[in-house]
Amino acid sequence: MYKRILCIVFPLLAFNCGDGLTYEQKLNEYQSYINITDSLINANNYEEAIKYANTAISLTDTLSPAFTKKGIACYELNWLEFAEENFDEAIEIEGEASKVYKRRALVHLKNNDSDFLDDINIYLLNYPEDEEALEIRRDYYENKEDYDEAIFEYDFAIEKYRDSTELYIKRSSLLYLNGDYERALEDYEKILVLDASNTEIYNKKNDLLAELHKKNDLIIFIILLFVCYGVYVLISYFIFKTISS
């Protein structure tokens, strides 16, 4: 715990950053620390990265990159509370169009926090072509078993990638779970057009057809029972009426 706190609150003070430096010099120093932080993150040395990010923040807390990098390092260390705090700072500086919304959304996702949707939706409003973010949102709905929303997300994806077997396979599974068997069959057909050798989908299609056939037979049987019962009632009525007269 103490080690974690030291990494968060104790910057490297290799020099006196406030005395005798012009704004331009501070920016140059700031960028040099950001570059080092990036290198350390790429090397998975997250605790050292946090220290250098702290030093950059000590130069100026009016720029977002150091907060963002520090948040990334904290996230990788699973220090989610600290990650969220730093992403909050970055978003406050950058505003509604901040790309850091995606980073903070991932923190909420890891925390199983419903705020995930708020952040990822804001992010996608500004960056609708980010395929990774779209996939993350699809997976979120799927894992929550919110099949209607998940199917809607896959509909949107398939509009863009009409020849993606993987997307059709995932959507067909969701359609089946959601009880939309006709559309599931349509997806099976499409998959087999794209990949005729997909035996798993071929078997699923045949199993579903057999299942639907049994249901149809059962429905027909029930209807016939009601018809027979109705005929029986009518015949009984007329027989009873004839006897009575």
User: Mind listing the pLDDT tens digit for each residue in 127-144?
Assistant: 999 999 999 999 999 999
Residues contacting 174, CB < 8 A, separation 6+: 142, 147, 150, 151, 154
Average pLDDT, the chain: 87
The confidence score (pLDDT) of residue 23 equals 83
Please state the rounded mean pLDDT for residues 133-156.
97
> Interior CA angle at 205 toward 203 and 208, to 5°?
105
Three-state DSSP at 180 gives coil
Percent share of the chain, pLDDT over 90:
75
Which token pair is 221? 């049987």
Please state the rounded mean pLDDT for residues 107-112.
97
The residue whose two tokens read 């950001």 is 34
The confidence score (pLDDT) of residue 212 equals 86
Which token pair is 224? 């016939």
State yes or no: pLDDT of 231 exceeds 90: no
State yes or no: pLDDT of 232 exceeds 80: no
State yes or no: pLDDT of 115 exceeds 60: yes
Lowest mean pLDDT among 32-36, 83-87, 141-145, 239-243: 239-243
Measured distance CA(52)–CA(45) in Å, rounded? 11
The confidence score (pLDDT) of residue 198 equals 96
Three-state DSSP at 82 gives helix
Contact 104, 85 (CB under 8 A): no
Which token pair is 104? 């903070």
Please state the rounded mean pLDDT for residues 163-190.
97
